[in-house]
A and B are shown apart, each in its own frame.
Chain A
Amino acid sequence: MTATDVRLQPKKKGLTRRRKRSLSRGVQYVVFVAAVIAFAVSADWGRLKNQFAQGSIAKQMFPDVITLALKNTVLYTLSGFVVGLALGMVIALMRLSSVGPYRWLAGVYIEIFRGLPALLIFIFIGVAVPLAFPGTEIVGGTYGKVALALGLVAAAYMAETIRAGIQAVPKGQMEAARSLGFSPARAMTSIIVPQAFRIILPPLTNELVLLFKDSSLVLFLGVTLEERELSKYGRDLASTTANSTPILVAGLCYLLVTIPLGFVVRRMEAKAQEAVK
């Protein structure tokens, strides 16, 4: 197409599209290289290495950083995900209900919990709930509190995702199910929802990644040594050793999980895209 343009209008003044494009690319490379050089020159590599990459400190973190901290992070995330999924499912169905007050309640929930920082919810669960209901214990101790706090936040996002997934299932599916004698509820659970989940698997996995990072907010609940997850563990160790290497190691542990998950999401999205074609 570019070639045709050039042939048709050889005398047009200024740059051809092809030359404009390569010029723009060239400029971008120059800026990039300049930035890298500026960073490399200005950073104090010796101090950075001292502060963030002390081999002996890193070694001292194993195996606890995996067997305790990463394990707890995963546990917190999964329990929050399960609570979020169950609650999100209920809220999504309420949002699609023919009963007005249900729709309204679900809408209010979604707006509130999407609008609040997760941090506030953690503080609320950690401080306000015990104050308001003295003597009550949230089942499961810290694990229960984290599952609840993460679940409350996740449910708001998941509800919207699940609702979109349910609405993306063609109308004919419900009609076919109803014409076979399925009740509306049974058609929903055995025909519509399973298809909806196939559609929303990528965004749900994304939500898992977000929860994985949000689990670091456990910090604000006050946890025992045994209950520490990656962020708290890294920070505690950083202050006892007066060195930031544990932060770097903890960070790498997060990436160990989030990068493969992100890869899986992109794979699923690409596959779904292909299926549409």
Chain B
Amino acid sequence: MSEQPAPAGPEIEVRGLRKSFGDNEVLRGIDLEIRQGEVVCVIGPSGSGKSTLLRCVNLLEEPTKGQVFVGGTELTDPDVDIDAVRRRIGMVFQQFNLFPHLTVTENLTLPQRRVLRRDKAAAAKVAAENLERVGLSEKADAYPASLSGGQQQRVAIARSLSMGPEVMLFDEPTSALDPELVGDVLAVMRVLADEGMTMMVVTHEMTFAREVADRVVFMDGGVIVEDGSPEQVIGAPRHERTRHFLARLLDPAMAQVEEETSDQVGGSG
């Protein structure tokens, strides 16, 4: 697994992906390729299957049908060592999911030690570097509960980075944050993108998508409706559904309604 073939193909490849929860078909045939170093933002109304798609990419959800490849390895192959592949895929959640019983440093070192078997000193060194990267060195010994949401999310990013991933997945990383804290998290992600990380980002932050993404994918009803450059998808959408979604997102009154309904969906599952 350590010897990677030269990245001839895409870093992430999704083929004919379908996912059902019971009778509810949430993903209805997704095909997507993401090249190494590419930043792809996934946008779309709440309930359109964005999180499910992201979670299928690291197999937190088991696809009902189709294939997922990351770095040339097929994750959907039942014989693949999924834990080994997941080490190469970082994931950042809307709710941060830091380990509350551990300090910030321990959050970063424990996975390295238990999963990568790094020794104490090496893990501590990597942790310190990554805390520095997200600008939180002074919080090394704090517990997550004492941090703001924005700080917690930056720690969560640093925790993922400490595992040395090839790919980072972000599921609405700023949606649970107070507006004034969003900027710090997006700044960290922007630097990461500039450094060449392959990133798949589900977000409602249109400015971020427009400025940072190489590509924007618009999803609705479990399918990819539109896939292209930010200028094209956000600036000059071809499909009525995309236009409708963007109009609602940009109209503050409608956006409010959107947010409230998405809160309800998020709260129940």
Is B60 a contact partner of A182 (Cβ separation < 8 A)?
no
Residues of B near A181 (CB, < 8 A) are 83-84, 86-87, 111, 115-116, 163
Indicate whether A4 reaches chain B with its CB closer than 8 angstroms: no
Q: Interface digits, A175-187 against B, CB 8 Å rule (1 contact, 0 not)?
A: 1111111110010
Q: How far is the CA of A190 from the CA of B101 in the complex (A)?
A: 11
Is B111 a contact partner of A198 (Cβ separation < 8 A)?
no
Residues of A near B87 (CB, < 8 A) are 180-181
Of residues 166 through 224 on chain B, the ones whose CB sits less than 8 Å from some CB of chain A are none
What's the least CB distance linking B103 to chain A, in Å? 13
Q: How far is the CA of A170 from the CA of B114 in the complex (A)?
A: 21
Q: How far is the CA of A198 from the CA of B110 in the complex (A)?
A: 18
Is B97 a contact partner of A172 (Cβ separation < 8 A)?
yes
Q: How far is the CA of A181 from the CA of B84 in the complex (A)?
A: 6
Residues of B near A66 (CB, < 8 A) are none
Contact segment of B40-48, B88-96, B227-235: B88-96
Of residues 53 through 94 on chain B, the ones whose CB sits less than 8 Å from some CB of chain A are 58, 60, 83-84, 86-87, 89-91, 93
Q: Which of B58, B101, B115 contacts A194 (CB 8 A)?
A: B101
Indicate whether B100 reaches chain A with its CB closer than 8 angstroms: yes
What's the least CB distance linking A92 to chain B, in Å? 19
Is B114 a contact partner of A182 (Cβ separation < 8 A)?
yes
Of residues 100 through 155 on chain B, the ones whose CB sits less than 8 Å from some CB of chain A are 100-101, 110-111, 114-116
What's the least CB distance linking A202 to chain B, in Å? 16
What's the least CB distance linking B37 to chain A, in Å? 21
B contact residues, range: 20 to 34
Is A180 a contact partner of B86 (Cβ separation < 8 A)?
yes
Indicate whether A195 reaches chain B with its CB closer than 8 angstroms: yes
Q: Which of A176, A182, A186, A195 contacts B93 (CB 8 A)?
A: A176
Indicate whether B159 reaches chain A with its CB closer than 8 angstroms: yes
If A173-B99, A175-B93, A175-B97 touch, whether A180 touches B115 (CB-CB below 8 Å) is: yes
Residues of A near B115 (CB, < 8 A) are 180-182, 186
Q: How far is the CA of A177 from the CA of B98 in the complex (A)?
A: 9
Q: How far is the CA of A194 from the CA of B91 in the complex (A)?
A: 23
Is B58 a contact partner of A180 (Cβ separation < 8 A)?
no
Indicate whether A78 reaches chain B with its CB closer than 8 angstroms: no
Q: Who on chain B is nearest to A176 by CB?
A: B97
Q: How far is the CA of A225 from the CA of B34 in the complex (A)?
A: 77
Q: How far is the CA of A179 from the CA of B90 in the complex (A)?
A: 7
Is B111 a contact partner of A180 (Cβ separation < 8 A)?
yes
Indicate whether B52 reaches chain A with its CB closer than 8 angstroms: no
Is A183 a contact partner of B83 (Cβ separation < 8 A)?
yes
If A172-B95, A173-B99 touch, whether A178 touches B60 (CB-CB below 8 Å) is: yes
Indicate whether B160 reaches chain A with its CB closer than 8 angstroms: yes
Indicate whether A191 reaches chain B with its CB closer than 8 angstroms: yes
Of residues 154 through 186 on chain A, the ones whose CB sits less than 8 Å from some CB of chain B are 170, 172-173, 175-183, 186
Residues of B near A182 (CB, < 8 A) are 83, 111, 114-115
Is B100 a contact partner of A195 (Cβ separation < 8 A)?
yes
Q: How far is the CA of A185 from the CA of B83 in the complex (A)?
A: 11
Residues of A near B114 (CB, < 8 A) are 182, 186, 190
Q: How far is the CA of A170 from the CA of B95 in the complex (A)?
A: 11
Q: How far is the CA of A181 from the CA of B81 in the complex (A)?
A: 10
Residues of B near A186 (CB, < 8 A) are 114-115
Interface residue ranges, B against A (CB under 8 Å): 58, 60, 83-84, 86-87, 89-91, 93, 95, 97-101, 110-111, 114-116, 156, 159-160, 163
**Extra A-B contacts (12), CB below 8 Å, given A181-B86, A181-B87, A181-B163:** A172-B95, A173-B97, A176-B93, A176-B156, A177-B99, A179-B86, A179-B91, A180-B115, A181-B116, A183-B83, A191-B99, A198-B101
Interface residue ranges, A against B (CB under 8 Å): 170, 172-173, 175-183, 186, 190-191, 194-195, 198
Give the 8 A-B residue pairs with the shortest CB-CB distance, closest first. A181-B87, A176-B97, A179-B91, A172-B97, A180-B111, A181-B115, A181-B86, A183-B83
Q: Could you list 12 A-B pairs, sorted by A, with CB under 8 Å? A: A173-B99, A176-B91, A176-B156, A179-B60, A179-B89, A179-B90, A180-B159, A180-B160, A181-B87, A181-B115, A186-B114, A198-B101
